[in-house]
Amino acid sequence: MHIPLLALGLLSRLVASIPISESIAHSTILARAGDLRSEYDYIIVGGGTAGLTVADRLTENGRYSVLVLERGIFRNSTFVTTVGMGFFGILDPENLYNITSLPQPNLNGRTIAVLAGNLLGGSSGVNGMQVVRGQKEDYDRWGEYFGKRSEWSWDGLLPYFKKAWNFHPPSPAITNQFGIKYDTRFWGNSSKVHASFPNFNYPFLKTELAAFGDIPGIKFSPDSGAGETGAYWHPSSIDPSTILRSFARPGHWDGIEAARSNYHTLTGQRVLNVVFQGKKATGVRFTSADATTQAGARTVRAKKEVIIAAGTIHTPQILQASGVGPKALLQQAGINLVADLPGVGSNFQDQSFNVGGSFNMTKFNAWPFQDALFNNATFMAEARAEFEANRTGPLSVASGNAGAWIPLPVVSPSRWREIATRYENQNPAAYLPAGTDKTVVAGYKAQILANAKAMRSRDSASMNWFLRGSYQEGALVYLHPASRGTVFLDPANPFFGPPRVDYRALTNPIDVDVLVEFTHFVRRFFRESRLKNYDPVELLPGTQAQTAQQITDWIKQTMIPSCFHPIGTASMLPLSLGGVVDEKLRVYGVQGLSVVDASVIPDSPGSYTQQTVYAIAEKAADLIKARS
């Protein structure tokens, strides 16, 4: 709490959910729902990564009135702001939704924790701060679903990547010591969302990155933002002037310099549904975040547009509860149909976390290394003292800044052709839930063909190996899983029940084939690269796992189908391919309603998602202003 505020006698104006100093309230934070105007030009549902970015851009010229309704509250605890190790954000359960996935039959019935940020700033306030961009082909692929002339392409998005991020090069000392390559032509320097490098790296990272050069086909990209595959250093979303997390809230909300009377924010409010007059979205209905019934719900009107930005997990629930979604589901839930849009909640994807294999380098001799933070109390105490005194050292590193982004033909020189061929010849309906609408099936087939092409390409990454700079390595991210899941509201409790999240992990057998190849690659890497000099010993899955079946059994026990990069539940695809929004991000079949968040991404970029979400939001703001 802000003690000076209490002294000013302002307590009576605050509700418990708004512990915030007025000095940063450049968007007027309404203390109670009763303070709302009856209508705004734009209502943004969800003050997260994309929502706050769009709100900032729509309010900056003063012409439009904007209301952001956010279910979480303003949170700025050290759990949110601390950068060290990159995972403090998820250690405070208050920062997160408490959603558990449906049991996954192909993972021996395991359930998965579905993490998403429940605070002003959304998931950018809890994420691992890794700032990476996909490959050029990823963004071109999205446009190609609409035909060749789409503005959704690498060239079309590059200006928005530049607008979205303020890039700070690594210090000359670090650049020289580690041979970091960067090229400012891929970046901008005006955003208040920062991308910067720590002034400390674990020394072994340099050896590890170089080791990828020992594997034929792996390049060293000129910059993490060049849209290429290969091994490279990348920045973190850290403000270099404070060494605190840089995210959507400080970047696009407290970062606003002059007060904007046209911009209202109301936190601690759950939007229940969009209100329609015929097919025209005219507003939203919302209630307090802790309410459990609809009694007391209020309505606020939108003159121009309602913009849904509630994230991949909640956006489909809100659309479905509004009557926009698959007819059969809405009937079952007793929701009046406004537009039968079968794609809402389908095409759900996430990137999986896989211990491709864990090797221990028994002749490892570098110092220091990341594990020392966890197993050497003296080292941790020194790191803490250094950070407190100078904001430098090991605790200025978040989740890491180096990795390799590897195409399938490099991962598996012997099997990639056969896997890609089998993939593109699949009958798509066989791998989707029974009864899936034919447009969604057609969209899946289009994605299979496009992603099989990406599998064959040396300019698209299939696997990401993220590096720790330590003696045990082998943690991987599978960037383009072929399986598709669903996110549907709970028909028994459509407004208040958590969405039913089903990853449908490994339902497409191509994923098993690819993941088995990942394990073979990890073994080959330790056998063939310079890391063999450190006498690596295989710990997991262990040398007894040799056949594809043995490796598969181990994958089923260990793979986690989420790296918290969910996408696709309101995909930007043609309507005939099960799309939910068009290329201007407008929801099909209705007027005055758009979606701007990770849910519009039709298939995963070959990277983590935050950098792309900010760029999409910057572009969306221009699209929305252009039609205002």
Ligand X SMILES: *[C@@H]1O[C@H](CO)[C@@H](O)[C@H](O)[C@H]1NC(C)=O
**Annotated binding residues for FAD, as ranges?**
271
CA dihedral 521, 523, 526, 532 (to 10 degrees): -140
Pick from ligand FAD, ligand X, none: which does 608 bind, CB < 5 to 8 A by kind? ligand FAD
Report the candidate in 284, 329, 288 with the shortest Cα–Cα distance to residue 309.
284
Smallest gap from Cβ 75 to ligand FAD, in A, equals 10
Contact status: 127 vs ligand FAD (CB under 6 A):
yes
Pick from ligand X, ligand FAD, none: which does 128 bind, CB < 5 to 8 A by kind? ligand FAD
CA–CA distance, 321 with 317 (Å, rounded to integer):
6
Q: Find all residues with CB under 8 Å of 576, minimum gap 6, and list them.
A: 439, 442
Single out the residue of 73, 297, 573, 613 in contact with ligand FAD (rule: CB under 6 A).
613
Smallest gap from Cβ 14 to ligand X, in A, equals 14
Smallest gap from Cβ 524 to ligand FAD, in A, equals 27
**Helix, strand counts (H, E) of the chain:** 18, 24
Footprint of ligand FAD on residues 318-377 (CB under 6 A)?
Answer: 318
Contact status: 519 vs ligand FAD (CB under 6 A):
no
Footprint of ligand FAD on residues 392-421 (CB under 6 A)?
Answer: 399
Contact status: 608 vs ligand FAD (CB under 6 A):
yes
Burial of 175 (C-beta count, 10 Å sphere; 0-12/13-18/19+): middle
Footprint of ligand FAD on residues 269-328 (CB under 6 A)?
Answer: 270-271, 309-312, 314, 318
Please count the residues of this chain forming the interface with ligand FAD, following the rule CB under 6 A: 42
Pick from ligand X, ligand FAD, none: which does 379 bind, CB < 5 to 8 A by kind? ligand X
Cβ(322)–Cβ(273) below 8 Å: yes
Contact status: 609 vs ligand FAD (CB under 6 A):
yes
Minimum CB distance to ligand X smaller for 199 or for 591: 199
Cα dist. 248→61, 201, 408 in Å?
19, 26, 34
Pick from ligand X, ligand FAD, none: which does 273 bind, CB < 5 to 8 A by kind? none
Smallest gap from Cβ 301 to ligand FAD, in A, equals 17
CA–CA distance, 49 with 69 (Å, rounded to integer):
13
Pick from ligand X, ligand FAD, none: which does 24 bind, CB < 5 to 8 A by kind? ligand X
Contact status: 610 vs ligand FAD (CB under 6 A):
yes
Report the candidate in 38, 532, 500, 21 with the shortest Cα–Cα distance to residue 301.
38
Smallest gap from Cβ 439 to ligand FAD, in A, equals 24
* Alpha-carbon Rg for the chain in angstroms: 24
Beta bridge partners of 560: 353
Pick from ligand FAD, ligand X, none: which does 471 bind, CB < 5 to 8 A by kind? ligand X
Report the candidate in 246, 173, 234 with the shortest Cα–Cα distance to residue 205.
234
Footprint of ligand FAD on residues 58-117 (CB under 6 A)?
Answer: 69-72, 90, 115-117
Contact status: 30 vs ligand FAD (CB under 6 A):
no
Determine if residue 382 is left, alpha or beta; phi over 0 gives left, psi from -120 to 50 gives alpha, anything else beta.
Answer: alpha
Residue range at the interface with ligand FAD (CB under 6 A); choices 299-307, 389-397, 424-432, 610-618: 610-618
Smallest gap from Cβ 50 to ligand FAD, in A, equals 3
CA–CA distance, 88 with 579 (Å, rounded to integer):
36
Beta bridge partners of 501: 487
Minimum CB distance to ligand FAD smaller for 44 or for 355: 44
SS3 (DSSP) at 25: coil
Contact status: 123 vs ligand FAD (CB under 6 A):
yes
CA–CA distance, 589 with 422 (Å, rounded to integer):
36
Residue 541 preceded by cis peptide, ω within 30 = yes
Beta bridge partners of 402: 233
Which x/- pattern, by CB under 6 A, does the window 545-584 give for ligand FAD? Answer: -------------------xx-------------------
Contact status: 195 vs ligand FAD (CB under 6 A):
no
Contacts with ligand X by CB under 6 A lie at 24, 76, 81, 93-94, 97-98, 118, 189, 244, 254, 360-362, 364, 376, 378-379, 382, 385-386, 389-390, 471
Minimum CB distance to ligand X smaller for 38 or for 78: 78
Smallest gap from Cβ 503 to ligand X, in A, equals 20
Please write down the HEC assignment for all residues of 195-241: EECCCCCCCHHHHHHHHHCCCCCCCECCCCCCCCCEEEECCECEECC
Smallest gap from Cβ 492 to ligand FAD, in A, equals 18
Query: At which residue do the structure tokens 């960067």 appear?
Result: 182
Pick from ligand X, ligand FAD, none: which does 103 bind, CB < 5 to 8 A by kind? none
Report the candidate in 576, 575, 596 with the shortest Cα–Cα distance to residue 584.
596
Residues that bind ligand FAD (CB under 6 A): 45-51, 69-72, 90, 115-118, 122-124, 126-130, 270-271, 309-312, 314, 318, 399, 564-565, 597-598, 608-611, 613
